[in-house]
Amino acid sequence: MRPSFVSLTFLALAATSAIAAPAPQFVPFTSFGNGGNGGNAVGGNAGNANGGSVIDIGNTVGGGTAGRGGTSQGGNAFGGQGGNAGGFGTGGNGGNAQGGNSGDANGGSVVNIGGSVVNSGGSNRAGNGGTSVSGSAVGGNGGSSNRGSGGNGGNASSGNAGSANGGSVINVGSSITNTGGSNVAGNGGTSRSGNAIGGNGGR
């Protein structure tokens, strides 16, 4: 009897981008009013997209191929633009932007546990790491003023990227025989942080 737990997974998860609405470009009813501030934006966080693992427990012959990591993409964020001011008013500040965090995209592992495990050539291949990319962030530009002060540009902070490690191969027990080409660990994938672009100050 050979209990076996096999899970092969390939996921692509992408969080929705967030775009804040801009402030009105001119404040009504006065030529000396201040420009409104642009809204802040926060990109959504993406979940994990790990490859599935293969686990054999008992008297195992052969092996398995674990699933490779998928793609986890954090949402982008774009801060709203600051409104322009009339007369001597102050331009509105650009909105801040925070890119979303991406999850892990690790390759799956292969685990053999038990006695008398025999793995033929080319078996027990762990999954390669996938791609984890955090969201980019673009801060809103500050509003301008005819004679007053321009608004401040918004801050931007990109999200954190998750790990994209290659999977491992683990053999536990006695009398394990591995022939050539077996037990191949997965390659690491790509983990990339998003760009962060601060907004320009108004004139």
CA separation for the pair 113, 173 (Å, rounded): 6
1 falls within a domain: no
173 falls within a domain: yes
Residue 90 contacts residue 142 (beta carbons within 8 Å): no
171 falls within a domain: yes
pTM: predicted TM-score of the whole model, two decimal places: 0.73
149 falls within a domain: yes
Residue with tokens 């009013």: 33
DSSP letter assigned to residue 7? -
CB atoms near residue 147 (< 10 Å): 10
154 falls within a domain: yes
CA separation for the pair 93, 149 (Å, rounded): 11
Domain that holds residue 76: 6-203
* Residues composing the chain: 203
What is the total count of domains within the chain?
1
The per-residue pLDDT for range 99-137, each reduced to its tens digit, is 999 998 998 888 877 667 777 777 788 889 889 999 999
Structure token pair of residue 199: 């907004």
The per-residue pLDDT for range 11-69, each reduced to its tens digit, is 445 555 555 555 444 333 335 678 888 888 888 888 888 888 877 776 666 667 788 88
Average pLDDT taken over every residue of the chain: 77
Residue 110 contacts residue 169 (beta carbons within 8 Å): yes
CA separation for the pair 76, 163 (Å, rounded): 19
